[in-house]
Structure 1
């Protein structure tokens, strides 16, 4: 997707979200745009899913998700440019009724989505370091190793800073005060005391301040910024405008830092450790059951957008145990979904679906499963069943044999080094097994290639997926014999810029011009140099004979039709003495333009070079 396409899609998405004034928050994850809005009634999900470039759309956990796939970053960039600072305050949105569970998922998604890329980057470097050492590329303890370790570890060591800035935006509070709160948690006095094993709390006016190592923590800063958003707002209300710049930050810090260090930080630390301990307990108590359930349900979890809820637990696992047991199971599900897409590629008969399935397979191998999930699995349903069966089986397999991940990274074949440890061989077996099992199951059980229409109510929690039907199209034939010329090469900016519509041009080699479609003559210019036609299905075509030939005032043109005439494809429209036109110094290049281009999804040029014969297809109009 190029910049122009991303911009066009962003414009349409914003419009169907009710316009930029209806959007209160926007963020994105690896594959989807996410929005909070003021008025749900203005959002048109049923139209969103029809957009070219959109894989699906849904309302879940209090926000809207528009699934784009690998181009989500490009589209989000354009969305941000267009919305700018015009988005409304989130106060109206925050008053909406939302159940507590949905609210928690919404917060986790909104906080982690902006920072997930840098977390993955650090995890990738951390995961590859042992491999570099094993290969002899660098030596452990060397200066190079230290620098690489610094790059990888700094992201996680100072993670509360990143989460503070992101959470401040989510909770609509001052991000610098939020980062100051994180700075208090990571102050060297507290961290060094924690590393030395000190258990005696600091004394703050007779109140004990527990010694806690907050580096790499998640839950404490989320709780802190949440409470900060209320405290800061309350202080701003009671302080006179003249004194705000001095007293608001001062009082906010004096109130929040002690509360954070005495109450919220320790509570959050225990809660995070408890979540991590529960995850480890579940995989210890019954690894087969834990791996089976999590591996099987992973596609459903991704479809609901709740996969972000695992990130705090996984990060706490890395902090407390130096490994994670959830990610290996996720990896088996990723490979199962990818294998199912490959099975679709092998089985599907529709030639246009084969490249879609192959692209989804490649994307899945690189760790992004949404193109496979929405483009193939949900579309045909049975491949989804195959992925669930395979993901559950191989998830149980790697959990049973103690599969572990030693750094936070994408579940991708490129990140296999992060699983290097005692159970690495089982991860390799599971990776290959999950892909093959799912592909074979998909191929064996088959699927119906017809796709049902999506739900259009737009406001429930079901996933809305783009249907696998071809869009209607109109084909435009060449009106003359000649040489194809790209529109951008036409020596007239009015045509080459596309301002009059997309299309193509032909340099004629004989005199006759024929109708490119069945339709009606809408215009015959008095100077005879241009003819307008409307096809039977509404495509408006302009045949502009030569460049600047309006100056010839009709000389050398013999037009055989009149405005209002009905014509059939290949009916003779005009006879033109092109050789005489050239003698008078005018170019004979003839643009064929679709003047109502903006009414269609696309205008494709079928033949863009070489010679063309009358009646050959030159343009395809995608509706």
Structure 2
């Protein structure tokens, strides 16, 4: 991950710094910047960066072409440079074309990603403090314990303030007003009132029965403990963002600077205490009860399921939906079973990586395995997933099997998180029950993670084969031995063009791959070979296939068609689907795309062309779906 961090920093500096960036997005292969002044960008310097393919300036965008790793580089820029979440971002709200699940994941990831590092660090400090007490190294009455506990617990106690900042960035409102809302929720004086004698009780005889400690303008206020809470502050800031924007439209500009925050706080904080806070807290308790109930219905089955699919959730970003549930469960009940069941997944993945490292004879793959193994030990498995196991499908499945068994074992031993802490080996202290100084959960987690690691290693080692050992059709070449050939039919019907005919330097120069282009006469793309949909961009304009023999094929429908945001494209498959040659992948409306001013010429590229002796394209001028378009020679 270090290389992405350094590359992200260098790219931001190269485009003229953070202040020169209006917005940032990415498509299948490129980072797409909108800059205040493109003349400030050091284009030649960026082109020469290790990890950058080239730079294209087109359509008002400054496009830095990365290739297959564009997603990782984009995420690193968002995380380390704060572009998408800062005031320089032009658009941080979810795209209107997203479905509800995508919008939910986008909001949650946008709110939690900026604080995830310090959140894990604080949890680790709390975890190690609990561990040191359980081991008898420090006493709870000692000053050392008090300071360590303060360091670890400070973030969690004032969590609404931190979430107020990140939620404000996501919902686009004044961050300091949002902090004030969060601070009000954890105001110490109200905490004292919360523990006092109630005036009376409301909703008696229901699950919402609550004491009323005070009134505001005669309206009863049900005080809740908002320290470490998640849902109330996010709901409050969403409401506050709407109030603030409404006030900004009606308050005169000369007094807007202080009157908008004045009325925002005066409206939002009472409404939060009276309505939003209690309802959100009850919702959080219901979520915690439901997730615990689902787990208790069949703990081992839940462990198997969560363990097996955790890495799949990570690939598609769905794991963000479980992170706030985990934090909410710890805040409401003190423990979390749900995400705890996924703890063994990183160890199973790392065991598979070690098997590949020990078995492969390829120096380049070995060089990828070493850092992936090290990062995996510390719970960071993206290098292992994307670089090692996912491209070798069987290895990824084995890691999921090991994770599933590990999840079932964790459930069997009733392992649970008592705090949100570190990843990998740094996650062990999260299983220590500090309330009774019990280390049984941590010992169980250590045994299960070791078992998952060994399962991944022992299952993967005998089954792993280097790709070159997979035999395919062979033909003699110049009498000097045998070579492998793989044939691909055309994914489109139309006129064959050379890459030089493509009106985009990135494709015409061949830096993204070798191949050919097709000017289609029919708005349909079919699979050129049996394989797996490795990548499918949400807009449907580009997709990548990996054949059963490991060839990576990129099909990019039209030029700059990402700007259509999926309009006129209809995908017929999903990312991860196995497809057969001739199967329809995407349909598109050529006429509408052309009317929008876009070319529909479609590059068909072999992305991993460096692994082959030669890439041969057809000499035909017109091509149909059943005819060979490209031949690769290994």
* TM-score when normalising by structure 2: 0.62
Q: Does 1:360 align with 2:372?
A: yes
Superposition pairs of residues 133-152 of structure 1, within 5 angstroms: 133-152=133-152
Structure 1 residues 40-65: Cα deviation after superposition (integer angstroms, max 9, x where no partner): 997989x5434xxx3x63xxxxxxx6
Structure 1 contact 301–307 (Cα < 8 Å) conserved: yes
Match of 1:458 in 2: 537
* Cα separation, partners in 2 of 1:42 and 1:349, compared to 1, 3 Å: farther
Match of 1:19 in 2: 33
Match of 2:132 in 1: 132
* Cα separation, partners in 2 of 1:141 and 1:460, compared to 1, 3 Å: farther
Match of 1:168 in 2: 168
* Cα separation, partners in 2 of 1:283 and 1:463, compared to 1, 3 Å: farther
Question: Could you tell me how far 1:318 is from its partner in structure 2?
Answer: 1.6
Structure 1 residues 251-296: Cα deviation after superposition (integer angstroms, max 9, x where no partner): 1112111111111111111111222222222222211111011000
Structure 1 residues 320-345: Cα deviation after superposition (integer angstroms, max 9, x where no partner): 22222123322111111111111211
Structure 2 contact 79–114 (Cα < 8 Å) conserved: no
Q: Does 1:233 align with 2:245?
A: yes
Question: Could you tell me how far 1:77 is from its partner in structure 2?
Answer: 4.4
Q: Does 1:300 align with 2:318?
A: no
* Partner Cα separation in structure 2 for residue 306 and residue 132 of structure 1: 35
Structure 1 residues 418-454: Cα deviation after superposition (integer angstroms, max 9, x where no partner): 2233333322221111001011111122245269897
Match of 1:428 in 2: 446
* Cα separation, partners in 2 of 1:405 and 1:376, compared to 1, 3 Å: same
Match of 2:404 in 1: 392
* Cα separation, partners in 2 of 1:78 and 1:140, compared to 1, 3 Å: closer
Structure 1 contact 339–436 (Cα < 8 Å) conserved: yes
Structure 2 contact 79–113 (Cα < 8 Å) conserved: no
Superposition pairs of residues 130-529 of structure 1, within 5 angstroms: 130-196=130-196, 198=198, 199-420=211-432, 421-447=439-465, 449=467, 458-459=537-538
Structure 1 residues 481-503: Cα deviation after superposition (integer angstroms, max 9, x where no partner): xxxxxxxxxxxxxxxxxxxxxxx
Structure 1 residues 235-256: Cα deviation after superposition (integer angstroms, max 9, x where no partner): 1101111232342122111211
* Cα separation, partners in 2 of 1:414 and 1:359, compared to 1, 3 Å: same
Moved more, 104-113 or 355-364: 355-364
Match of 2:508 in 1: none
* Partner Cα separation in structure 2 for residue 224 and residue 84 of structure 1: 20
Structure 2 contact 344–452 (Cα < 8 Å) conserved: yes
* Partner Cα separation in structure 2 for residue 210 and residue 129 of structure 1: 34
Superposition pairs of residues 56-75 of structure 1, within 5 angstroms: 57=71, 66=73, 72=76
* Cα separation, partners in 2 of 1:182 and 1:291, compared to 1, 3 Å: same
Structure 1 contact 163–221 (Cα < 8 Å) conserved: yes
Question: Could you tell me how far 1:301 is from its partner in structure 2?
Answer: 0.3
Match of 1:88 in 2: 90
Structure 1 residues 105-126: Cα deviation after superposition (integer angstroms, max 9, x where no partner): 1111000000111111110010
* Partner Cα separation in structure 2 for residue 328 and residue 269 of structure 1: 23
**Larger RCO (CA within 8 A; separation ≥ 6):** 1
Structure 2 contact 159–229 (Cα < 8 Å) conserved: yes
Match of 1:612 in 2: none
Structure 1 residues 381-425: Cα deviation after superposition (integer angstroms, max 9, x where no partner): 111110111111110111121012222112211332222333333
* Partner Cα separation in structure 1 for residue 543 and residue 150 of structure 2: 42
* Cα separation, partners in 2 of 1:252 and 1:427, compared to 1, 3 Å: same
* Cα separation, partners in 2 of 1:316 and 1:195, compared to 1, 3 Å: farther
* Partner Cα separation in structure 2 for residue 155 and residue 84 of structure 1: 21
* Partner Cα separation in structure 1 for residue 86 and residue 289 of structure 2: 42
Q: Which runs of 5+ in 2 are unaligned?
A: 16-23, 37-57, 199-210, 433-438, 471-530, 553-609, 611-634
Q: Which runs of 5+ in 1 are unaligned?
A: 23-38, 58-64, 471-600, 602-623
Structure 1 residues 335-380: Cα deviation after superposition (integer angstroms, max 9, x where no partner): 1111111121122221210121122111011110101111111111
Other structure's SS at 1:17 match: strand
Q: Which of structures 1 and 2 has the bigger CA Rg?
A: 1
Structure 2 contact 303–409 (Cα < 8 Å) conserved: yes
* Cα separation, partners in 2 of 1:312 and 1:76, compared to 1, 3 Å: closer
Match of 1:496 in 2: none
Structure 1 residues 199-221: Cα deviation after superposition (integer angstroms, max 9, x where no partner): 22422233211110000000000
* Partner Cα separation in structure 1 for residue 194 and residue 179 of structure 2: 21
* Partner Cα separation in structure 2 for residue 341 and residue 188 of structure 1: 50
* Partner Cα separation in structure 2 for residue 123 and residue 283 of structure 1: 24
Superposition pairs of residues 24-39 of structure 1, within 5 angstroms: none
Question: Could you tell me how far 1:137 is from its partner in structure 2?
Answer: 3.0
Structure 1 contact 344–443 (Cα < 8 Å) conserved: yes
Moved more, 216-225 or 245-254: 245-254
Question: Could you tell me how far 1:135 is from its partner in structure 2?
Answer: 3.7
Other structure's SS at 2:220 match: strand
* TM-score when normalising by structure 1: 0.64
Question: Could you tell me how far 1:8 is from its partner in structure 2?
Answer: 4.4
Match of 1:504 in 2: none
Structure 1 contact 299–333 (Cα < 8 Å) conserved: yes
Structure 1 contact 304–463 (Cα < 8 Å) conserved: no
